[in-house]
A and B are shown apart, each in its own frame.
Chain A
Amino acid sequence: KQEVTQIPAALSVPEGENLVLNCSFTDSAIYNLQWFRQDPGKGLTSLLLIQSSQREQTSGRLNASLDKSSGRSTLYIAASQPGDSATYLCAVLSYNTDKLIFGTGTRLQVFP
């Protein structure tokens, strides 16, 4: 059974810091891994999608890496801003399940 864990559960940092959010999963038989952002009480906004054959994806100040064999992904946020404050969720799409399995998220607060 696939399980997804995110560390840390919460993070509070001053503006300008570079951040690393961690995601681990127990079963490496995945199609892809997707990182989402969620503002309080809102839906999910897709940030980055990494296929199982890829090592990383980049979008602006965001970079996500995937090490499928070790069951790990990291989301790197460069030069953090207060507008980055949100909960960040990772989710994997496993073979033969057709459903996303989510972690419980990392709640990020960036203060001025």
Chain B
Amino acid sequence: ETGVTQSPTHLIKTRGQQVTLRCSSQSGHNTVSWYQQALGQGPQFIFQYYREEENGRGNFPPRFSGLQFPNYSSELNVNALELDDSALYLCASSLGAGPLNGYTFGSGTRLTVV
């Protein structure tokens, strides 16, 4: 059984640019959630996708958007990057919203905005 894989592992972007981060969910999982983790903080929920539709959103502006594909993989897109968007972005997959089996996280994408 494969785990959650994220790409790229590291990324440097300039303020104002756009970025796309990718996530492949664990085999058998149909739900993907994205989290942002600033240095020294716990992860913060961005949004969740289930059956290709957004199924819950945290306190993030609309320039954070996402997609889920039929194979349950997902993308996180961030437009008009700001310096404060620099963080570790984590993808987690689960079967449903996770009540029974919990969440499996990927290794993350470290985004630096300069």
A residues in contact (CB < 8 Å) with B: 4, 31-32, 34, 36, 41-46, 49, 51, 89, 91, 93, 97-105
By the criterion CB–CB under 8 Å, are B102 and A34 in contact? yes
What 1/0 mask marks residues of chain B from 27 to 66 whose CB sits below 8 Å from any chain A CB? 0000001010000111111001000000110100000000
Whole-angstrom distance between the Cβ of A25 and the nearest chain B Cβ: 12
How far apart are the CA atoms of A105 and B39 in the complex, in Å?
A: 12
By the criterion CB–CB under 8 Å, are B56 and A98 in contact? yes
Q: Which of B68-114 contact A (CB under 8 A)?
A: 88, 90, 92, 97-108, 110
By the criterion CB–CB under 8 Å, are A42 and B99 in contact? no
By the criterion CB–CB under 8 Å, are A34 and B42 in contact? no
By the criterion CB–CB under 8 Å, are B88 and A32 in contact? no
Q: Which of A49, A89, A103 is in CB contact (< 8 Å) with B102?
A: A49
By the criterion CB–CB under 8 Å, are B42 and A46 in contact? no
**How many residues does chain B have at the interface if contact means C-beta atoms less than 8 Å apart?**
29
By the criterion CB–CB under 8 Å, are B105 and A36 in contact? yes
By the criterion CB–CB under 8 Å, are B40 and A44 in contact? no
By the criterion CB–CB under 8 Å, are B90 and A43 in contact? yes
How far apart are the CA atoms of A33 and B98 in the complex, in Å?
A: 11
By the criterion CB–CB under 8 Å, are B97 and A34 in contact? no
Nearest B residue (CB) for A105 = B42
Beyond A43-B90, A46-B103, A99-B33, is A104–B40 a contact (Cβ under 8 Å)?
yes
How far apart are the CA atoms of A93 and B99 in the complex, in Å?
A: 7
Q: Report the 3 A-B pairs with minimum CB-CB distance, sorted nearest first.
A: A102-B42, A43-B107, A44-B105
By the criterion CB–CB under 8 Å, are A93 and B98 in contact? yes
Return chain B residues, CB-CB under 8 Å to A41: 88, 110
